[in-house]
Structure formats: structure tokens, C-alpha cells
Amino acid sequence: MDGKALAAKEKGLLKEKTAKLPRKPGLAVILVGDDPASRTYVNGKRRDCEECGFYSEEYTMPAGTEQADLLALIDELNGREDIDGILVQLPLPNGLDSRCLLDAIRPDKDVDCFHPVNVGKLFSGQTGGFVPCTPGGVMDLLHEYGITAKGKNCVVLGRSNIVGKPMAALLLAEDGTVTVCHSRTPDLAQKCATADILVSAVGKTGLVTGDMVKEGAVVVDVAMNRNAEGKLCGDVDMETVAQKASFLTPVPGGIGPMTRATLMCNTYRAACRHLNVSPD
């Protein structure tokens, strides 16, 4: 499944829609410290904004920045009418309370869907919140290839608040029968082998092998790892799993681009709400 192609398609549509708005959607990204991976992600988000015709601001702060200073910046951005989305790039340096900072973002500007209000809407089936970026990107990619979770056995590997838990919620909302597995799950291979749709978001190279995959299963690899040679890879052993899966996402070029495209979609929807216009 080609996430890169679908992400480009979605961003092209957003650019067309953005041109019709009274003003550009605005996204503010806060980066604390000098983590190389975080810098790469932030650079990608800036390019995405340019491609969609959005306005973006980046706040790069030293690793020693005080929590109070970050809260003050978020408070300022909360009050700005030209900023529709606020994103705090994770992980944060030691000593900073990420939960406190994420909770300080106004729910209507929480385009990463980390605020308890938006998480609560997701799990209770309410509308009006945002879709978590990575799980939302997975669902869009499945739909692009005509794959629905309805009536399917769905297995999610990983129980993080960023991917595993919201992924399970979105699959449940589409009438999938969902099993969430984690580091304490016994008989992992057996449970994976029951999956019609298998989503892996653990961060362990080579975790999912061909003998763990049901013939014809859809396999989605969310992880971004480095193997012993330093090459980017996911959790899935592509060579053996590709022989059994009906659909498989590559790493890179699968879910990564879709995550960023979903962030752009959320920012666009936030702008539409603030401007009181229809997103369609």
C-alpha cells in the first residue's frame, strides 16, 4: 500500500480547498532540544504546510527551557486567531512534563489529538474531535484500498496512547473485532495468526515474521526502526510476510507520510471551525 502517493493526493486536495478560505490555516510547532529525529519530523511538517498552502511557525527552544516558559508560549498561541493548530514535538527532554504541556493546548487547537477532551470524544464515539494522526492515517490508507474493518478480526500490536489504543478505538468504531497485544501477551504468534488486519506499532525490528501472519491478511507496519546496518525499517520482516499478506505497507513510504497528511487534514478542519465554514 502506497502511503506516499495517497499523502500527496490528500495534500493536493487540501491545497485546492485552502485557496477558497478567507485566510490560510495556521500551524505552530514547538521543538525543544536538538533530537535529530525530531528535527527531521519538524522539517517535514514545515514542507507539508508549504505544499498545502498553510501558514506555519516554528519555535525552537533549548533543551534547558523551563516548563513555565513553554506553558506561557502555549498560552500565547492559544489566544492567536491566526494559529489553528498547536503541536508540541515529542519526545521532550528530561525534566519536562509532556502531559502538562499537552493538556495546556486548547482542545480546538489540539491537532495531534492528545488532549483528554479529544481522546474522550474518540473513545466515546462523539463527533467534533480530531482523529489521532497515525491511526487516522492508517484508516485512510485502508479505505483507499477498499479495506474495511467491519466483521474482521483485527490485531493491534502495542498499547501506546499515541498509536495502539486509538488504533483499536478506530477499528472498533468500524465494527472490527479488536485484540490489543503487548509485551505481556502470551502466545503472541498465535494471536497474530488470527488477524485479518494486523497493525504493528511496537518498535522492534523483525518482530512480525511470515509464520505469524494469516494467508491473505492485511499487514500495516507503523514502526520506524533502524536495523543493524542502520537502514530504516519497521516491525515487519518484509521478505517473509510479503509472501502471505494480501496488502502490506512499506517502511519508509507507508504510514509515515500518512501520519503527516492527517496532521494537515486536522489543521485544515480546525481552521474551518474557527472560520465557521464547512470543510467540504
Q: Catalytic positions, please?
A: 45, 89, 112
- The answer, yes or no, to whether the previous bond of 252 is cis (omega within 30 of 0) is yes
Residue 41 grid coordinates: 519530523
Question: Which cell goes with 139?
Answer: 484508516
Strand 26-32 versus strand 55-61 pairing type: parallel
Q: Which stretches within the chain are classed as H helix?
A: 3-18, 36-52, 67-78, 98-104, 116-124, 133-144, 164-173, 188-192, 238-241, 255-275
213: which DSSP letter?
S
Query: What's the CA gap between 52 and 127, in Å, rounded?
Result: 25
Radius of gyration over every alpha carbon of the chain, rounded to an integer in angstroms = 19
State how far the Cα of 82 lies from the Cα of 26, in Å rounded to an integer. 6
Instruction: Pull the grid cell for residue 249.
Output: 505497507
Indicate the angle between helix axes 116-124 and 164-173, nearest 10 degrees.
40
Is residue 113 within 8 Å of residue 132, measured between CB atoms? yes
Distance CA 191, CA 187 (A): 6
Helices (H) and strands (E) in the chain, counts: 10, 10
